[in-house]
Chains A and B, each alone.
Chain A
Amino acid sequence: MKVRRPKLTLLDRLYLPQILAGMWRTLKHIPRKKFTRQYPEEKFKLLGKYRGAPTLVRNQAGQVKCVSCQLCEFVCPPKAIRVLPGRRDDSAPAEARIEKEPEDFIIDMTRCIYCGQCEEVCPEQAIFLKQDFAVTGYKRSELEFHKDKLLELGGIHDDPICKWKKK
């Protein structure tokens, strides 16, 4: 196929008016308000309902809320969660009736799709999706978050129910 060259007018061929028009457009923006963001140093402001990476939380008494019931492991669509069930130290009196706590809790962040099913299904309100959506690392193994890391990210959940107190 042969492409026909457009016929240029004198003005077009002068070239200068186009350059000036372009420069004028750029100059117009200089005094205006900036909307460029320095991502990733500068984060987005997200809506409260935004679902990011899942984390584990502790209750107000500092105890791990998760009881390793493995429902989240069962429900997770991409099978990102792996729970190694464990027993809780019997000697601690306040938490004596909880009995179970995960030995390890692994979420593979390369698999997680931030769907929130785990938070939805958890009978103990122990897993919450926080707003961090950009989980990065240099190695795959860095993106396998273990119990300690997940608890650190999750922090304390201010649960008004305090189930462990009523046991």
Chain B
Amino acid sequence: MSVENVNLTIDGRAVQAAVGTNLIEAARLAGIEIPHFCYHPKLAIAGNCRMCLVEVGLPQLGPDRKPVLDAQGQPRVNFGPKLIIACNTTVSEGMVVLTRTPRVIKARRGVMEFLLINHPLDCPICDQAGECRLQELAVDYGQGCSRFVEEKEHKPKRVVLNEKITLDDERCILCSRCIRFMRDVAGQDCLGFVKRGSRSTLASYPGREPATNYDLNIVDLCPVGALTSTDFRFRQRVWFLKETASICPHCATGCNTTIWSREGVVYRQTPRDNAAINQCWMCDYGRLNYKFINDPDRLTAPQLGRQDATWADAIAHVAERLAAVRAAGSKIAGLGSACATTEELFLFAKLFQALESGLLDSVPRTDIADNFLLNADRNPNMRGAQLAGVAANPPGSRIAEIAAGIERGEIKALLVLGEDAVAAGLRAELLAKLDLLVVLDILPGATTDAAHVVLPGVSFAEKGGTFINAKGRVQKINPALAAPGQARPEWEILRNLLAAVSKAWKKPAPDFPSLGKVFAALADETPALKGWTWEDIGSEGRDL
């Protein structure tokens, strides 16, 4: 599909933009920022904040519909008497846009003054401070002191919009982004303005508060601190938070996210733009599902039979016991979670190659999908588990076989990577029959309780790696925090285990000094990833 381009000039810079592009986006192409509040690239245009006013001139056309040239041979441009809003004006051939003239600046200053008339002096307690468009533009176009001597309009504060969102109406600048999102994107037309003039107030329809799985996106959309996430409210100022690009690990969509953390504590997650996956949204289920990272019960030291042990002892013990199980002629099985990264699953599969066993599977996790982002497959990396050869086809179909093998006493050792084997159908009585149960996990549970060896791994926020989403997009996660205590990223544990097992089996051990090297080996052995390098996967991922 070819897109027709038009030529225009913005502040003297020649710009080429596709027909239908609005002036805010066209200016962005030229590296010029037109200040705006109500416009959002993914929402319908409302044109109500008037912050984006610019001067627009069009070439004068003669009777032959050709531009009229002036004495210098340049097209003659006619400017309109009034400023017009950039967000609702599309580009046209020969258009001339001026965004920094005294008239425009004066208009912006006027708009800012009106917006600030009733705005409370809340910045010190407002969660938005530091990432607030109103603060930023007030620095550029504000007056410094107010000419308003009348009593400020007071509106409701701390309105509980629903269990996830707290609304402060005094801070609202009536941009209607939230209304448009709920109506057009989330599909629940529930927000609106009540009252008129300076008393206009954002409210939800009585008895019909936002109740979708996407409500918290309006907190991100709100350019000011009117809509705040109850979960994040008053917990930390944004300027202390470190941003780490990550991927949501709670379903196979793999929404791109940013993890906001400070000194080892995660405070919130927000969506990160990726036009191919999640646009700029994410679901609330994934967004709020991060508390387990800072769970006080996290496993922090390797355990040998309930006693804390050193890593060297634990790894040596596992290799030795596995050799003993093999020597006795029994089988070894494995459960590799599809929540693990592809590199970990690859190393897990390699470990089983070294152990000469193919009894591997992943646990499928399905739930209801919605028709927007949330996928029915709640594993973030089932594609990766299949690619690495850990998951059976269909996933989970060998679990019964493994259970039966344990029941019959053929399987005497089980390695579990980040999975609750008990919940997956390997009952505690079955696990008790094993000679060796090794569990790599981050939180204690029924399976770690039954384990002979517990190896503490880390959460998705504490390690690097890749997930492959349902559509086959390979995306990277990055470590935001340090691992707690002695816990180690699973790929390091599996690498060390692989080296120890290879030594015990007198086989050459592959050497993986870094995650990039693991990925290189994975790419080398996987036809779908042939020729890929770790660097090839950018921040937005890459399709298989």
Contact = CB atoms under 8 A, between A and B. Distances in A.
State yes or no: do A and B come from one complex.
yes
Interface of A: 67-71, 73-74, 85-87, 90, 97-100, 123-124, 163, 167
Contacts of A99: 125, 157-158, 234
Interface in B117-149: 120-121, 123-125, 129
Nearest to A83: B237
B286 to A, nearest CB: 25
A74 B125 contact: no
B236 interface: yes
A69 B234 contact: no
B456 to A, nearest CB: 28
B506 interface: no
22 contacts: A67-B125, A69-B123, A69-B124, A70-B237, A70-B240, A71-B124, A74-B237, A74-B239, A85-B236, A85-B237, A87-B233, A87-B234, A90-B158, A99-B157, A99-B158, A99-B234, A100-B124, A100-B234, A123-B123, A123-B124, A124-B124, A163-B121
A9 B221 CA distance: 96
Nearest to B129: A69
B24 to A, nearest CB: 32
A69 B237 contact: yes
A98 B124 CA distance: 10
B195 interface: no
B235 interface: yes
Contacts of A123: 123-124
B: interface residue count bin: 10 to 19
Contact of A86 (B123, B158, B234, B237): B234
Nearest to A126: B124
B239 A98 contact: no
B130 to A, nearest CB: 10
Interface in B222-249: 233-237, 239-240
Contacts of B125: 67-69, 98-100
Nearest to B157: A97
Nearest to B124: A69
A67 B140 CA distance: 26
Given A74-B240, A99-B125, 6 more contacts: A71-B124, A73-B240, A85-B234, A97-B157, A99-B234, A167-B120
Contacts of B158: 90, 99
A43 to B, nearest CB: 35
Contacts of B123: 69, 123
A71 B238 CA distance: 11
Nearest to B122: A99
B235 A85 contact: yes
For B157, B233, B235, B237, which residue has the most chain A Cβ atoms within 10 angstroms? B237
A167 B120 CA distance: 8
Nearest to B123: A123
A22 to B, nearest CB: 62
Contacts of B239: 74
Most buried by A among B120, B121, B125, B240: B125
A125 B402 CA distance: 67
A144 B239 CA distance: 24
B233 to A, nearest CB: 8
Contacts of B240: 70, 73-74
Nearest to A66: B124
Contacts of B129: 69
A99 B121 CA distance: 13
Nearest to B121: A163
B236 A67 contact: no
A104 to B, nearest CB: 14
Contacts of B236: 70, 85
Contacts of B237: 69-70, 74, 85
Contacts of A163: 121
A97 B155 CA distance: 11
Best-buried of B121, B234, B239, B240 by chain A (most CB within 10 Å): B234
A163 B120 CA distance: 12
A99 B157 CA distance: 10
Contacts of A86: 234
B124 A67 contact: yes
Contacts of A124: 124
A33 B89 CA distance: 86
A100 B158 CA distance: 12
Q: Which of A68, A70, A74, A86 has the most CB of B within 10 A?
A: A70
A112 to B, nearest CB: 19
A111 to B, nearest CB: 17
Nearest 3 CB-CB pairings of A with B: A69-B124, A100-B125, A123-B124
A167 B121 CA distance: 9
A13 to B, nearest CB: 73
A67 B158 CA distance: 16
Contacts of B233: 87
